[in-house]
Amino acid sequence: MNAELRPVKTAAEIGLADLFAAVRKDLPGGSSIEAIRSDAFDRFAAQGLPNSRVEAWRCTDLRRLVQDAKPLARRPDAAAKTAAGGAGAVFAGLHIRRLLIVDGAFVPELSDLAALEAGVAIRATVEALRREEMVLPFGMAGADPVAALNTALAGDGVVITVAADVVVERPIHLVFVTTGAAPAAMFTRSRLELGHGASLTLIETHEGPDHSDYQVNAALQMDVGDKASLDHIKITSEGAAALHIATLEASIGVGANYREFGFTTGGAVVRNQLFLRLAGEGTIASVHQASLLSGRQHADTTLTVDHAAAGSQSREVFKAVVDDEARAVFQGRITVQPGAQQTDARMMARALLLSDEAVASCKPELEIFADDVQCGHGTTTGALDDQLKFYLMARGIPEKEAEALLIQAFVGEVIDAVAREDLRDALSRTMHDWLKGRE
Partner 1 sequence: MTALLDIRGLKAEIDGRQILNGLDLTVNKGEIHAIMGPNGAGKSTLSYVLSGKPGYEITGGEVSFNGEDLLAMDPDERAAQGLFLAFQYPLEIPGVATLTFLRTALNAQRKKRGEDELSSPDVLKRVRDLAKQLSIEPEMLKRPLNVGFSGGEKKRNETLQMALLEPKLCVLDETDSGLDIDALRVVADGVNRLRAADRSMIVITHYQRLLDYIVPDVVHVLSAGRIVKTGGKELALELEATGYAQYQSEAA
Q: Which residue ranges make up the site for partner 1 (CB under 8 A)?
A: 386-388, 390-399, 401-402, 405-406, 408-410, 412-413
Minimum CB distance to partner 1, residue 405 (Å): 5
Alpha-helical segments (H) within 359-398: 386-393
Nearest residue (CB) to partner 1, 342 versus 408: 408
Strands 158-162 and 120-124, bridge-based pairing: antiparallel
Cβ atoms of 228 and 255 closer than 8 Å: no
- Phi and psi angles of residue 77, each rounded to the nearest 5 degrees, phi first: -90, -175
Nearer to partner 1, 5 or 405 (CB): 405
> Residue 212 in contact with residue 250, Cβ under 8 Å?
no
Q: In terms of CB distance, is 34 or 413 closer to partner 1?
A: 413
Beta bridge partners of 92: none
User: CA-to-CA distance for 268 and 293, rounded, in angstroms?
Assistant: 10
Cβ 425 to partner 1 shortest distance, Å: 15
Cβ distance to partner 1 smaller for residue 93 or 396: 396
Nearer to partner 1, 25 or 395 (CB): 395
What sign does the dihedral 115-121-122-127 (CA atoms) show? positive
For CA atoms 282, 173, 268, 187, the dihedral sign is negative
* Minimum gap (Å) between residue 75 Cβ and partner 1: 46
For residue 310, the 8-state DSSP code is S
Shortest spacing between CB 394 and partner 1, in angstroms: 5
Shortest separation between residue 234's beta carbon and partner 1, angstroms: 23
Q: Which is nearer to partner 1, 352 or 423 (CB)?
A: 352
Cβ distance to partner 1 smaller for residue 140 or 402: 402
**Least distance from C-beta 387 to partner 1, angstroms?**
6
371 vs 137: CA distance, rounded Å:
33
Q: Which residue number, 372 or 386, has a Cβ lying nearer to partner 1?
A: 386
203 phi, psi to nearest 5 deg = -110, 145
Q: How far is the CB of 330 from partner 1 (least distance, A)?
A: 20
CB of 398 to partner 1, least distance (A): 5
**34/133 Cα distance (integer angstroms):** 14
Separation between Cα atoms, residue 368 and residue 195, nearest integer Å: 30
CB of 351 to partner 1, least distance (A): 16
Q: Which of 386, 375, 271 is nearest to 331 (CA)?
A: 271
Contact 40, 137 (CB under 8 A): yes
At 62 the three-state DSSP class reads helix
Q: CB-wise, 224 or 320, nearer to partner 1?
A: 320
Distance from C-alpha of 212 to C-alpha of 209, rounded to nearest angstrom: 6
- For the chain, the C-alpha Rg in angstroms (whole number) is 21
